[in-house]
A and B are shown apart, each in its own frame.
Chain A
Amino acid sequence: MAQTEEDKLLDEVTGKSYEYGFTTDIESDTIAPGLSEDVVRIISAKKNEPAWLLEWRLEAFRVWSEMKEPEWAHIQYEQPDLQAISYYSAPKKKKELGSLDEVDPELLKTMEKLGISLEEQKRLSGVAVDFVIDSVSVGTSFKEKLGELGVIFCSLGEAIQEHPDLVRKYLGTVVPQRDNYYAALNSAVFTDGSFCYIPKGVRCPMELSTYFRINEKGTGQFERTLIIADEGSYVSYLEGCTAPQRDENQLHAAVVEIISLDEAEVKYSTVQNWYPGDKNGLGGVFNFVTKRGICHRKSKISWTQVETGSAITWKYPSCILKGDDSIGEFFSVAVTNNKQQADTGTKMIHIGKRTRSTIISKGISAGDSQNSYRGLVKILPSAENARNFSVCDSLLMSSTCGAHTFPYIEASNPTAQIEHEATTSKIGEDQIFYCQQRGIEEEEAIGLIVKGYAKDVLNKLPMEFAVEAQKLLTISLEGSVG
């Protein structure tokens, strides 16, 4: 069990398909492309899931079958053929490469620029080295330490087997199956993801990460994450990876649910760098994600995201501020270049009294890309004295890109205070020239200016992530001034 689990995770990390035939049962364990109720049943059976979960998946499938793909977002694409996807693939052994020489040099160049160590480069690009053993042992001691505190951090698949009551109690409570087209699809066919539970009053002593140096990664096509912070607990959770992630799966439809119980705090940070496609946008990943958290009394959820990848990003990490005095935050930097399209933002739903939310969104558009901020601030009648403060800024790097802002404000309580600031500016030639005159080359100058622009958001990231994210911004915008 342990072995196959690890192999599967490794496979999901690299997303490479198996080509060389070290084992023989691979092909027979991949089901034919297409989606039907039977397929859902097969997935659930393969994963040895309890009956209630199969029922839950089937309900999602039925709802999904009635739904239509949404068209309101400011993005244009050809709808992926969902019947052409195979929804279950047995754990595969990744294709092992002999040395870094066999890795795509573009990929290596980028990783070098990011300052990723040689060992890490090998790991990320799937070169066989003995660090795997290291990383397992690191992962093990990591787990032991968390175990002492009662923190559960494992794959969702494992949690379904080991902690079914917790999963059953919370799964789908924040993002119900019928929430939207892609969330419904995910609910029906999700393969794996991460699960995290922080017990009452525990302050998780380390950043929990789905990629960092341990193989808890669940980068499946339909990933599902469930985070539960019990009363008075705290956790900082990191998702994603600054290294470019290539994947043969064009469509990614993940769901993240966060439950922040009374007086708990969850900080969720993402760096998303899926393959954006080539200069013409061909071959990039479609990233349709539903992320939402619910805040109970005096609790807090903070979303921080740096989005640089994907051909299409459709993503609105949101907070339902249900409990009195709860706080929701959203800090975002979204970069689009070439033909990339992003429609991203947040929803802050104020239900409890004295609930507060802050939104800081920094869009950077370059090339021929389209970058939209879409946000909803909704104050329900029950939300006495709710407050919101929003800033959404757009920075244009070229004359052929687009930046759009769609703020929606619905206030149903007269005591609400809502502030919204928005700016759009073109990167200043004066600023670039000023830097150049001091001996800073143009590319570096742009990096400096953009980092300065995004600083308020980058500062919210955990330290080690922030440094890589800064470099990533610069790399994403290389050659983009026009």
Chain B
Amino acid sequence: MSADRTDPASADPDGPGSADNPDRTRRAAATRLRILQAAYDCVARWGFSKTTIEDAARAAQVSRATLYRAFPGGRDELLAAVVAWENARFFGRLYAEVRDAATLEEVLELGLVFAHRGIRDHEVLQRVLETEPELLLGKLTVEAAGTQKMVAAFLAPYLARAPLAPGVDASEAADFLARMALSYISAPGRWDLTDRAQVARLVRGELLGGILLPATRPAARSG
């Protein structure tokens, strides 16, 4: 153990990392991850309102003190972090599905199809939405601006390669498409996002109709 008593972090093997101690940083990150995974498992089993700090600590096999060091804001900070974490994992899974898309049309079509499926088949999300949506939606709303920027940034290179209609600004189009894509994923309205023909029509007609040059607007795939 370090003999430096003036550095409170030095007495704590799982405390905040520092540039001088990459091991401590790694351990702190690993602990944080373990706690997030365990808290997520608790929420999956019992829901948000029944998940306590003690539940999460026990499931992660850490002490309460360790948990509070990782999440000084306590239960509220932990639950917000769980939402942010699963949100990031959701988009990570989505990225894996769409990364091979070559064109803007393909990436949007694949994105809508897989994201819709991912939400529909997400058991924890669906259960929370049914039983206790307010907390989740509050946290997701906090995430929303960042998620939107992330999707817009992801679409930007596809827009840079695409033949844009005159007067269309690529960054404005990226922002607009990100908003609309997230809106359709969240609430498809009258569109059936399990129907590939409808998705093609939505993407190539409604979403890209004003963005791409008319002469190069691709025909929808038949069937």
Q: Do A and B bind each other?
A: no
B residues with CB within 8 A of A: none
A residues with CB within 8 A of B: none
